[in-house]
Structures are given as C-alpha cells and as structure tokens.
Amino acid sequence: MKNIIIIIPVYNDWESLKKLLQDIDEIIATIKDTKFSGIIINDASTISDKEITKPKNFTFLKIIELKNNQGHARCNALGLRYVSGNEKFDHVILMDGDGEDRPIEIRDLILKAFQAKDSSVVAKRIKRSEGPIFQFLYEAHKILTLIFTGKKINFGNYSCLTLNDVKLLSTKTSTWNSFSGSLKKHINNYQEINSKRGLRYFGPSKMSLFKLGIHSFAIIAVFKYSVFLRSLLLITCLFFSKNILGVYWVVMSLILIIFNICIFLVSFREDQKAFENSENNVKNIISL
C-alpha cells in the first residue's frame, strides 16, 4: 500500500479549494492500493476558510496556518520540509489550489511514478489557458531561461515526488526561491507527463505579467553563476563585434549587466536562515 500526500498552498481562495478537494476525491476513489492524505498551507489568508472538510477518501487532511504571508513558492518549500520531518509517505504531489492544475492528471502522475519507481514525475505544460499576450511572454521566458541557464524548464509546481527527492529538495535553499528551478538543478533523473493548464474554478487568474516576470527571474536566479558566465561570454562577443555593431554593443552590454544585477538581487530571496526556520512561521496546525 502506497502513501501519497498532496500539498496545496492557498491564499483566500477557499471556494476553489473546496471544489478541488471534491474533484480530487472522485479521482483517487478509482486508484487502488494507495492511501491519500492532504496538507493545506494557509498562507496567512485574510478570509476565513469556508467549511473545508476532509474528503471521504483521504486518510487525513491538515491545514497548516501561517502567521505571515510567504508566497506560493515558499509555501511549497515549507510544505516539503514539514512532511519530510513529520509524516510517513512514499510520494508527495504538489499542486495549485485553484483548478489550473487539473485533478484528472493526478492519475497520470501516479501511474508514471509507479512505473518509474525511483523517479519523480513533473507535469510538462503542452497547452495553456491564458490569453495570447501572456502565452507569448511565457514562451519568451522559457527561451530566456534556456539561453542563460542552459536548462529547458517546461514545468511548474505540479508534480509527484519520491520520498528521496522530497528529502533532498527540503534541504536545498534554492527551493525557497523556486521549486521548478531547484528541481531542475538538483534532480537529474525525473520523468514527465503531458499536461494542459486548466481554467480557474472561480475568479480570474492571479498570475499577472509582473508576477510572471518575478517567477521567471526567480527560476533563472537558481542558476545565477551560470547566468553570470554566459553573460560574460556574450559581452566579450559583443566587444569583439563592436566594429560591426557600433554603439549598439554598449547598449546591449548595459542591458546584460542590468539583467545580471536583477538576477543577483532576486537570488537574495534564497535566505538560508529563513528557509531553515520556516516552521517558526506556523501559527497552528488543524487536523480535519
């Protein structure tokens, strides 16, 4: 019998979470020889939970209430540290609480994870639900990440992690900044499933263009030293091409320098002390 814990961060979006838990419950009812439990990370919501109850097919459901708002990435990091030190499990599933990570794909994640045995599985995005401008910028983000890090990162938080990988990521400070970047940096052996970005159950998407920019920089910042070396190489190439480019080589070099400064500033979010002491931000743990 396999034990799987599902970690879901939430900030005020209790209505969506309630429907998500209902949908998850229907899906896992069809999966045999597996026990499911849930950990909800309440990111210091300003709205009280709307009658969240334990789904019928969950062994337990806990709500970890935080004192201060931390943001999605840090909620995931805290959740991984919590289950690593306090719960027994074989796999952990990370997913959003608004419906954009489709519950129906839980079955595919688990099937792939059981087949792969010792490998974690990520949900590779093959189709998104946002508008054309957002999708264009998201593709630009992936290209930028590939150029400056040498890594192709086409997945987000939605994943099924092995016990060993959870314990590894729960010790890496980069997880405090970006889950997907940290996984790509520290875990070489992982599998993929194809995933379609779902629609939010209620309300508009909370991922603004500004948040997409921070998200992109946070991922790239995990590989800041690679970014610096690649940028140095590009600036060197620009210097030797200055007779062709003229004054533009200076402009492009300045853009690269500013870009690196931004990346290093974002990298300071990898606060080791805050990461290691993240459970001090827990106000209460409610078992349902």
Write the DSSP assignment of 179-240 as a string of letters.
HHHHHHHH---EEEEEEE----SSS--S--HHHHHHHHHHHHHTTHHHHHHHHHHHHHHHHH
Residues 6+ apart with CB under 8 A from 130: 138, 197, 205, 207
Q: Are 223 and 181 in contact (CB under 8 A)?
A: yes
Signed CA dihedral, 277, 281, 287, 288: sign only = negative
What is the rounded average pLDDT of the residues 104-111? 94
Tell me, what's the pLDDT at 181? Answer: 93
Of 127-136, 138-147, 241-250, 253-262, the one with minimum mean pLDDT is: 127-136
Q: For residue 218, count CB atoms less than 10 angstroms from its CB and return exposed for 0-12, middle for 13-18, buried for 19 or more.
A: buried
List CB contacts of 128: < 8 A, sequence separation 6 or more. Answer: 134, 135, 138, 196, 197
Confidence grade of residue 252 (pLDDT, cut at 50, 70, 90): very high
Q: Is 28 in contact with 36 (CB distance < 8 Å)?
A: yes
Q: What band does 95 get if pLDDT is binned at 50, 70 and 90?
A: very high
- Specify the pTM: 0.90
> How far, in Å, CA of 258 to CA of 48, rounded?
42
Nearest to 81 by CA among 258, 282, 283: 282
What's the number of CA atoms in the CB half-sphere (13 Å) around residue 226? 15
Q: What pLDDT is stored for residue 202 in this prediction?
A: 82
CA distances, 99 to each of 6, 17, 50, 71, 171 (Å): 14, 8, 17, 18, 29
Q: What angle do CA 53, 77, 204 make, to 5 degrees?
A: 60
Question: What whole-number distance in Å separates Cα of residue 288 and Cα of residue 286?
Answer: 6
User: How far is the C-alpha of 147 from the C-alpha of 223, rounded, in Å?
Assistant: 12
Beta bridge partners of 42: 10, 65
Task: Specify the amino acid at residue 47.
Answer: I
Q: What residue type is assigned to position 133 of the chain?
A: I
Judged against a pLDDT cut of 70, whether residue 217 lies above it is answered with yes
pLDDT, tens only, 112-160: 999 988 899 999 987 655 667 767 777 787 888 889 998 888 888 999 9
The mean predicted confidence, pLDDT, of the chain is 89
Report the alpha-carbon distance of residue 226 to residue 224 in Å, rounded: 5
User: Which residues on adjacent β-strands are paired with residue 122?
Assistant: 159, 192
- Report, as an integer, the average pLDDT of 35-44: 96
User: What is 2-130+154-204's CATH number?
Assistant: 3.90.550.10
d(CA 193, CA 125): 9
The proportion of the chain whose per-residue pLDDT surpasses 90, expressed as a percent, equals 61
